[in-house]
Amino acid sequence: MRLHEYQAKSVFADAGIPTPDATLASSVEEVVEAAEEIGYPVAVKAQVHVGGRGKAGGIKLAESRDEAEEAAESIIGMDLKGYHVDRVLVEEAVDFKNELYVGVTMDRGEGKPVAMVSTKGGVNIEEVAEEDPDAIAREHIDPAFGMHPYQARKAVYDAGVPRELARDVASVLQTMYQLWDDRDASEVEINPLMVTEDDEIIAADAVMNIDDDALFRQQELAEMEEETFEDDLERKAGEYGFDYVRLSGNVGIIGNGAGLVMTTLDLVDYYGGEPANFLDIGGGAKAERVANALDMVFSDENVDAVVFNIFGGITRGDEVAKGINNALEQFDEIPKPVVVRLAGTNAEEGREILNDELVTVEETLEDAVQRTVEYSEEEAQ
């Protein structure tokens, strides 16, 4: 789960990290009111989960009431890389002489968190990492001990943060690790951490991503999740409890197990088709889940044909077959061609049950995918 900038900033501010004066607004009037209250210049910033908001026109600086109005009008309601902008953060524009980067993330390779500090803030840190890796000081944290104070200091000094700022930046980093740890974050980041002329530091942006698997014990953060901002189909997948990713093609894909579904996608591509989605119904799926999965792909207007690929381990082929039959029997006409491939536990029983007036049955993965791609090409014409 990714927090919005305004949410992350409020979490950071509560923990004692300095953030600019800011107000959330969802109308032009509210933006102007907030801007007048805060005083110019202000930044008007779209609150959507999209990287590179600035370049895409989602962040505008306003020096006056007119400019604030203008910024609000152009941003509120805009479509930013597919996301509709409902709300903006109106924020004091901070004068700065320098931009730093501080963040904590999980280093998969090491299996432990890593704290990072750089004096090259304000730009994409992944670019810095590629072009000038030495510009980022990294300090791995032992998750049993947590971050020792000396580690925060070391990262800050190693990064070359000026000595007069070191104590404050180290303190921010220590707080960020604490948040990372306490809140089950997968990532926390301030980029840029601005340095003012008076050597004050202030978090001009804020990123906080929470481990979805830990939301059960992060109630306060879980409640911040805002469904309205998500893709409709992805929301539906969330309700059904599917792992789902929407893609740009026209071949709907349903399967059990992430690796197998990914492989099905790859085979669709391999045989010249274009995957419309990743949909994993998980293990041990019963009839209702099967029907829900079909509902998902049928709801996607881009889908022209569907491949249903099940390798039964826990999942039983006859259960799946029944589910498919039941789900499809409710239609007067099947909306899109469905190809089913069953293997593993009770696969034969399943294939026997499957109503081949409703679906095309194939025995091998390769045949099923090829057939589906053919259907999708026919339908697309």
Partner 1 sequence: MSVLVDSDTRVVVQGITGGEGKFHAEQMMDYGTNVVAGAVPGKGGQEVNGVPVYDTVHEAAREEDADASVVFVPPAFAGDAVFEALDAPLDLVVAITEGIPTQDMAKVNKRLSEVDTRLIGPNCPGIITPGEAKLGILPGNIFESGDVGLVSRSGTLTYQVVDNLTSRGIGQTTAIGIGGDPIIGTDFIDALELFEADPDTKAVVMCGEIGGEDEEEAARYIAENMDTPVAGFIAGRTAPPGKRMGHAGAIVSGSGTGTAESKINALNDAGVPVGDTPNEVADHIEDFL
**Which tokens go with 230?**
């998500």
Angle (nearest 5°) at CA 180 between 176 and 183: 125
Question: Binding of partner 1 at residue 335 (CB under 8 A)?
Answer: no
Rounded-to-integer distance, Cα 151 and Cα 145, Å: 12
Q: Which of 101, 177, 244, 375 is catalytic?
A: 101
Rounded-to-integer distance, Cα 122 and Cα 101, Å: 7
260 interacts with, out of its own copies, partner 1, none, CB within 5 to 8 A per kind: partner 1
Across the chain, how many H-helices and E-strands are there?
Answer: 13, 18
Q: Which of 5, 92, 189, 319 is catalytic?
A: 189
Decide if 155 contacts 141 (C-beta within 8 A).
no
Q: Element (H or E) spanning 216, and its range?
A: none
* Spatial strand order in the sheet of 42-46: 22-25, 88-92, 42-46, 59-62
Q: What region does 172 belong to: left with phi over 0, alpha with psi -120 to 50, or beta?
A: alpha
Does residue 101 have an active-site annotation?
Answer: yes
Helix axes of 163-182 and 149-158: crossing angle, nearest 10 degrees: 130
The nearer residue to its own copies, 127 or 142, going by C-beta atoms, is 142
Single out the residue of 266, 346, 280 nearest to residue 308, CA to CA: 280
Q: At its nearest, how many Å lie between its own copies and the CB of residue 171?
A: 16
The nearer residue to its own copies, 82 or 111, going by C-beta atoms, is 111
User: How many amino acids of this chain bind partner 1 (CB under 8 A)?
Assistant: 64
Q: Are strands 277-280 and 88-92 parallel, antiparallel or unpaired?
A: unpaired
- Cα-Cα end-to-end distance for the chain: 39
The nearer residue to partner 1, 31 or 206, going by C-beta atoms, is 206
Question: Binding of partner 1 at residue 259 (CB under 8 A)?
Answer: yes
92 interacts with, out of its own copies, partner 1, none, CB within 5 to 8 A per kind: none
Q: At its nearest, how many Å lie between partner 1 and the CB of residue 35?
A: 32
**For partner 1, what does the binding mask look like between residues 277 and 316, x meaning CB under 8 A?**
-x-x--x---------------------------xxxx--
Q: At its nearest, how many Å lie between its own copies and the CB of residue 214?
A: 16
**For partner 1, what does the binding mask look like between residues 108 and 127, x meaning CB under 8 A?**
xx-xxx------------x-
Contacts (Cβ under 8 Å, ≥6 apart) of 237: 243, 244, 279, 296
The nearer residue to its own copies, 151 or 370, going by C-beta atoms, is 151
**Which tokens go with 312?**
């039964």
Q: At its nearest, how many Å lie between partner 1 and the CB of residue 167?
A: 7
The nearer residue to its own copies, 73 or 110, going by C-beta atoms, is 110
Decide if 185 contacts 208 (C-beta within 8 A).
yes
Rounded-to-integer distance, Cα 146 and Cα 141, Å: 6
Does residue 83 have an active-site annotation?
Answer: no
Contacts (Cβ under 8 Å, ≥6 apart) of 372: 251, 268, 273, 305, 306, 307, 337, 339
The nearer residue to partner 1, 70 or 234, going by C-beta atoms, is 234
283 interacts with, out of its own copies, partner 1, none, CB within 5 to 8 A per kind: partner 1
Residues binding its own copies (CB under 8 A):
142, 144-145
Question: Binding of partner 1 at residue 81 (CB under 8 A)?
Answer: no
Q: At its nearest, how many Å lie between its own copies and the CB of residue 145?
A: 5
30 interacts with, out of its own copies, partner 1, none, CB within 5 to 8 A per kind: none
245 interacts with, out of partner 1, its own copies, none, CB within 5 to 8 A per kind: partner 1
Binding site for partner 1 (CB under 8 A): 51, 106, 108-109, 111-113, 126, 129-130, 142-145, 148-150, 153-154, 157-158, 163, 166-167, 181, 184, 186, 211, 213-214, 216-217, 243, 245, 247, 255-263, 265-270, 275, 278, 280, 283, 311-314, 343-345, 364-366
Which residues are known to be catalytic? 101, 189
